[in-house]
Amino acid sequence: MCMNAIIEVQNLYLKYRFIKSLSFKDWILSTFIPSKRESKLMEFNALQNITFTIEKGKTVGIIGENGAGKSTLLKVLANVYEPDSGNVVINTNSSSLLTLATGFKSDLSGYENIYINGLLLGLSKEELDEKVDDIASFSELGEFLLNPVRTFSSGMKSKLAFSIACHVDPELLFIDEVFSVGDARFRKKSSKKIRELIQSERTVVMVSHSEELIQEMCDEVIWLDKGKLIAQGNTDDVMKEYITYSNR
Ligand SMILES: Nc1ncnc2c1ncn2[C@@H]1O[C@H](COP(=O)(O)OP(=O)(O)OP(=O)(O)O)[C@@H](O)[C@H]1O
């Protein structure tokens, strides 16, 4: 065990379970053959035997091809998913996941959603009272925040989700591919905010497909492939291996 570890993961396994839908052919056949109507329960091994440690204060990138398990791993670390087996120890109570997949209550106003999402991300009512004006002003949504979120465009929803999440200010921050939010001007502002969040003392674990961003921001990289950990190490070494593998 590392004395300075903020995250310790040992022999982590996670399976997705889902119902396989009928193929078009089986759907037609099912009209005549009852046995074809049965849906199948499927399992998919998304993370297999993952072991690593992350030290306090580091910025660590998770890389890998589409479907490698990056977002799944981030969600396990952020306590959104429970693993099937293995140990995940997070040595802080102050962590949150910066993602654009935040669920809004569509009939409630932008302001009401700031409170609901802020509470879900771990802020107290008092902290939200203090931060709500900053969040509203960062989002640039002005009077629109008084309207139900169902009236927002998708860009407006992303701006609001980003503005809430980036004001949470935890000791441990998980960032899932949120580097291109909104229009060009907001993108510039949000990427500046992310850089500030990353360059502080906090520990950051981020998923990104941008090799430049990973190389610029991360002290270390974890490389996943088909649910397995291929390498963890300093950014230059692991990126070199990964780029060689990707260009194979
Ligand atoms: N809810 C789900 N049910 C079933 N399978 C899932 C579910 N979510 C993800 N998967 C599968 O698990 C695997 C890992 O998905 P994950 O989203 O973690 O990959 P990723 O590395 O983040 O991919 P990407 O770079 O494309 O975002 C994929 O094969 C995906 O199809």
Which ligand 1 atom is nearest residue 69's CA?
18
Beta carbons of 89 and 11 less than 8 angstroms apart: no
Q: List, for residues 30-41, the tens digit of each pLDDT value.
A: 777 776 666 677
CA within 13 Å, CB half, 210: 13
Residue 197's pLDDT is what?
82
At 176, list the tokens.
């899932």
The model's confidence at residue 236, banded by pLDDT at 50, 70 and 90, is very high
Full-model pTM? 0.84
Ligand 1, pocket residues at CB < 6 Å: 16, 18, 44, 46, 64, 66-72
162 CB contacts (<8 Å, ≥6 apart)?
A: 98, 100, 139, 178, 181, 182, 190
- What's the CATH code, domain 5-94+170-246? 3.40.50.300
**How big is the CA angle at 124 (ends 119 and 128), to the nearest 5 degrees?**
80
Beta carbons of 111 and 104 less than 8 angstroms apart: no
Residue 58's pLDDT is what?
94
3-state SS, residue 76: helix
Residue nearest to atom 28 of ligand 1 (CA): 67
Q: What's the complex ipTM? A: 0.97
Q: List, for residues 75-134, the tens digit of each pLDDT value.
A: 999 888 999 999 999 998 888 787 766 679 999 999 999 999 988 888 899 999 999 999
Give the Å distance between the CA of 109 and the centre of ligand 1: 31
Give the Å distance between the CA of 150 and the centre of ligand 1: 27
Residue 215's pLDDT is what?
92
Read off the pLDDT of each residue in 205-227 and give the average, rounded to a whole number. Answer: 92
Sequence spans of domains, the chain: 5-94+170-246
